[in-house]
Amino acid sequence: MNVLVIGSGGREHAICWKLSGSHDVDRLYCIPGNGGISDVAECHDLNVADTAGLIDFTEKMKVGLVVVGPEIPLAAGIVDAFEKKGIPIFGPVARGAAIEASKIFSKELMKASGVPTAPFQVFDDHAKALRYILEKQAPFVIKADGLCAGKGAYVINDVAEGESVLKELMINGIYGDAGKKVVIEDFLPGIEASYLAFADGMTILPMPVSQDHKPLLDNDLGPNTGGMGAYTPIPFLDEAMEEEIRRDIMLKTIAAMREKDIPYKGVLYGGLMLSGGKPYVIEFNARFGDPETQPIIFKMESDLLPVLMACVEGKLADIKEIKWKEGVSVCVVIASRGYPEKPERGKVIHGLDRLAARDDVMVFHAGTKKVGTEYHTAGGRVLGVTAMGRNYEEAIRKAYDAVSLIEFDGMYYRKDIGKKALIV
């Protein structure tokens, strides 16, 4: 089978790397791809927003499965267009992707179906939102309704901060139409967790639970980013809570979608807060997480292709289990100087050859470009250095030892990825 992966980040490199090892994949394409992906797949620099062009490419190359990585084409309806042409494609239709593309849709769906989430109010009028926060006790959270590349949520600690955020979102339009409507919700203290599951519209198959590190700086300080690292599994969940999440959050959400005549297929990603011994949904995403996908996929022992096809065909129940490697998987993201606001580009990356032969370490490329035999930086998050170990200490040590072998001008990374697992 010929397979096409759409996207250009570390998540897509992990997906391509895994699919490249499948005996049933004949030719692997990626649009547009990146420097690292070009080593395992045939990359084509086409416009991801040109759905008609992507369909033409797919038909020309006799692609039997399309896998969509990013949220923007999902929200724009790429799956709907491919399904109309009868082309198998992994990901939810646009109405399903609304669970990520609209915080309001997501929160109202959860409220109506009894999925645990923080109490909230919705506003499309700046003056009304401002009056509301003047009477609300901090801390609380303000979220832009639409897609903001993971940067549209703010924990508010005082009224002045809340006033500033509302002005930036609703008046100044820093995220365009995505911030014209907002959700204001109660702050839930606790431990964050990422619960990703394959879905076929009827049932789910969970992946190992992971933990992302959103803020730029150590100790969760600084601005939010797309994610500075992740690890899996996490030590904060017992079997009873995992079953509660599966039953009362994930399956209930899939059922609520089905009641709206939305057969949700693809990955359903629950961004959770474990607060007071109970799991609550902070947000849903409609795709593989980034960087969570990197440590999860590196830990996956089973072939990925049959799982993706089972989701598309509505036959996930036929996949009895997914085999995962024993141990811990840790991903440390290396970013460019200036990330997340104005990342530098065009820096030559050194040292990747020192890690090429390792089977316990994999460097997934996010923002890179291959120039001849060299890799150059081409984005904010550049690399995801991922390592497997028997326990948290070993996996963390291996990941940072590997990071120390890589160099480029202005490289930055957090020094505390996975450390939360050591203090449980």
pLDDT tens digits for range 26-37: 999 999 999 999
The pLDDT of residue 424 is above 70 = no
Model confidence at 152, pLDDT cuts 50, 70, 90, reads confident
42: CB partners within 8 A, 6+ apart:
27, 28, 29, 30
Report the Cα 419 to chain-centroid distance in Å.
Answer: 21
Helix, strand, or coil (residue 155): strand
Specify whether the CB–CB gap between 332 and 296 falls below 8 A: no
Whole-number Å distance between alpha carbons of 35 and 371: 8
- pLDDT of 214 above 80: yes
pLDDT at 201 over 90: yes
Give me the pLDDT at residue 224, please: 87
Cβ contacts of 189 within 8 Å, gap of 6 or more: 273, 275
Does residue 343 have a cis peptide bond before it, meaning omega lies within 30 degrees of 0? no
Tell me if residue 322 falls in helix, strand or coil: coil
Average pLDDT, the chain: 96
**Helix, strand, coil share (%) of the chain residues, nearest 5:** 35, 30, 35
Q: How confident is the model at residue 180 (pLDDT cuts 50, 70, 90)?
A: very high
Q: Where in the chain is the domain with CATH 3.40.50.20?
A: 2-93
Q: What is the CATH number of domain 125-180?
A: 3.30.1490.20
What is the pLDDT confidence band of residue 23, given thresholds at 50, 70 and 90? very high
Q: Positive or negative CA dihedral for 402, 294, 145, 182?
A: negative
Poorest-pLDDT segment among 141-155, 253-267, 362-376: 141-155
Q: How far apart are CA 48 and CA 91, in angstroms?
A: 15
Select from 327, 329, 265 the least CA-distant residue to 297: 329
Of all residues in the chain, the percent with pLDDT exceeding 70 is 100
The strands making up 182-186's β-sheet, listed across from edge to edge, are 120-123, 182-186, 140-144, 153-156
Sign of CA dihedral 150, 155, 161, 163: positive
CA distances from 223 to 71, 151, 154, 354 (A): 21, 8, 10, 32
pLDDT digits (tens, 9 = 90+) for 243-295: 999 999 999 999 999 999 999 999 999 999 999 999 999 999 999 999 999 99
pLDDT(149) > 80: no
Architecture of the 2-93 domain: 3-Layer(aba) Sandwich (3.40)
Residue closest to 296 by CA, chosen among 169, 197, 410, 217: 197
- Alpha-carbon torsion 114, 115, 116, 119, what sign? negative
Nearest residue to 303 (alpha-carbon basis) of 329, 322, 317: 322
What does the block give as tokens for 150?
A: 């993971």
Number of Cβ within a 10 Å radius of residue 366: 31
Cα Rg, the chain, nearest whole Å: 21
Greatest Cα pair distance, the chain, in angstroms, is 61
Rounded Cα distance, 69 and 91, in Å: 8
Say if residue 148's pLDDT is above 90: no
Q: How far apart are CA 220 and CA 240, in angstroms?
A: 28
pLDDT at 320: 83
Question: Do 210 and 267 touch, CB atoms closer than 8 A?
Answer: no
Parts of the chain belonging to CATH 3.30.1490.20: 125-180
Ramachandran quadrant class, 195 (left: phi over 0; alpha: psi -120 to 50; beta: rest): beta
Which DSSP helix (H) or strand (E) runs through 268? Answer: strand 265-275
**What b-and-e string marks burial along 66-80, b requiring 16 or more CB atoms within 10 Å of the CB?**
bbbbbbbbbbbbbbb
Q: pTM of whole model > 0.85?
A: yes
Q: Quote the CA–CA distance of 117 and 338 in Å, as a whole number.
A: 34
Helix axes 252-259, 103-113, angle to 10 degrees: 100
- By percentage, how much of the chain surpasses pLDDT 90? 96
pLDDT of residue 423: 82
